[in-house]
Structure 1
Amino acid sequence: MMIQIPDVLTPDEVAHCRAVLDAAEWIDGNATSGFQAAAAKTNQQLPQDGAAAREVGAIIIQALQANPLFVSAALPRTILPPLFNRYGVGMGFADHVDNAIRRDPSTGQPLRTDLSITVFLSQPEDYDGGELVVEDAYGSHLVKLEAGAAILYPASSLHHVTLVTRGVRTASFFWIQSLVRDDARRALLLDMDVAIQRLSSAVGVADPSVLSLTGTYHNLLRMWAEV
């Protein structure tokens, strides 16, 4: 399940985040890579423990936690701190799959990476190339969104970033451990939640059909959630 989440950040928030990031000191993206990633990746990355990453990361997390579509689609249990990368001309990231387990840098606790998310921080007209390409059972999906929008997809997906041929692509990327591990179950719950909202608008929240569907949703969540 791939979900586009528009307007995670407002234009003012994007402008502020970019001002902070553009003034920060970037390092070689392979400073934190394993052997396989280092062979596939050429980009720049922001030091995770730096002031810029912490400030902008906090803005992104707060915005996502207030976004109903993100909460409904991800059912987040734990959100890892956002990372930031930058691709200039000639930079890209070949096909790879994200690590299944990552450690929370603040606690050292190992966390399962159920979902990957990219929040775009450059306008698409500001660079050529740099598309995120995600492979799933239905084929290849090319993603290049407006600044402030996000794409959420299973971390088990094969994906890559195409070479940038003009301009600079700046983005945030990180991972979520969901309350519901299975992607198909998360997709079903999201469909049910959307149906509940639409039905509630049409017939009212107290209608028996709404109450019945809501009860089914929560019963499934009780069975599938890992807390």
Structure 2
Amino acid sequence: MLIAIPSVLTPSDVTALRAVIDAGDWADGNATSGPQAALAKRNEQLPEDGAAAIEGGRIVLDALGRSPLFVAAALPLKVFPPLFNRYAGGQAFDIHVDNAVRLKGDFRLRSDLSATIFLEDPAAYDGGELVVEDLFGEQRVKLAAGDCVVYPASSLHRVEPVTRGTRVASFFWIQSMVRDDGERRILLDLDRAVQRVAADKGQADRAVIELTGVYHNLLRRWADA
């Protein structure tokens, strides 16, 4: 399941975040790459232990916690500390798959989901689309600054060359309480349906209560919390 989540960061959040990360010491993006990714990756990245990445990551994590759609779609158990990259002058990230397990010191995470938050106005640069391959073909994603896309980390994906301007983004991985992508999709669809029924009938309606019970019983069956 690939899902776009609008306005995870507000315009003021984006401005504050860009002030932090733009002043950071950018370095070769292959500092965090595995052997296969290092052959495909051409970009710059903030060192993950640098002050700019740590402060920027805090802003991103705070925003994710305020996004009901992100929580409903990802059902996060763990979120890898957000990282930041930028592409310019023809830089790109060729087709690859993300590592199954991410490590940061003693912190270990199974990467069920990958996420990108776009941090630049899409009109300000050419290229830079995130291209995710799934059973239905390629999905090309280029969103407004502050918008997020979440997709299975098992997907083959790439970032197209940036031929004008600079593409700036935050990226990170999520270990979900619900490991199976199909089960997460069922829960998200059910959650959305419950919210629509509740908006029409009210939270105290018997049908809303029963559907909410079905949601939580499925979550109880599938979740690893």
- Do these two structures clear the TM 0.5 threshold for a shared fold by scoring above it? yes
Superposition deviation, residue 207 in structure 1: 1.2
Give the alignment of 1:1-227 within 5 angstroms.
1-103=1-103, 105-106=104-105, 108-227=106-225
Displacement of 1:211 in angstroms is 1.2
Q: What is the distance in 2 between the residues matched to 1:33 and 1:177?
A: 19
How many corresponding residue pairs?
Answer: 225
What is the CA distance between 1:16 and its match in structure 2? 1.4
Distance 2:34 2:116 in 1: 20
Please give the alpha-carbon distance, in whole angstroms, between the structure 1 residues aligned to 2:35 and 2:113.
22
Alpha-carbon distance in structure 1 between the residues aligned to 2:29 and 2:117: 17
C-alpha separation in 1, matches of 2:49 and 2:69? 29
Task: Give the match's secondary structure for 2:162.
Answer: coil
Task: Structure 1: give runs of 5+ residues left out of the alignment.
Answer: none
TM-score, normalised via structure 2 length = 0.98
Distance 2:108 2:21 in 1: 28
Q: What value does the CA root-mean-square deviation take over the aligned residues?
A: 0.9
Q: Residue type of the partner of 1:66?
A: R
Q: Which amino acid letter does the alignment assign opposite residue 199 of structure 2? A: S
1:109 to partner: Cα distance: 3.5
Deviation of residue 208 (structure 1)? 1.4
Distance in 2 between residues matched to 1:126 and 1:214, nearest whole Å: 43
CA distance in 1 between counterparts of 2:38 and 2:114 reads 19
Hey, what's the Cα distance between the residues in 2 that align with 1:68 and 1:74? Answer: 10
Q: Shift of residue 20 of structure 1?
A: 1.5
Segments of 4+ moved more than 4 angstroms = none
Q: Which amino acid letter does the alignment assign opposite residue 33 of structure 1?
A: S
AA of the residue aligned to 1:64: L
Q: Show CA shifts across 1:12-64 (max 9, x none).
A: 11111112111111000112222211110100010000111011110110111
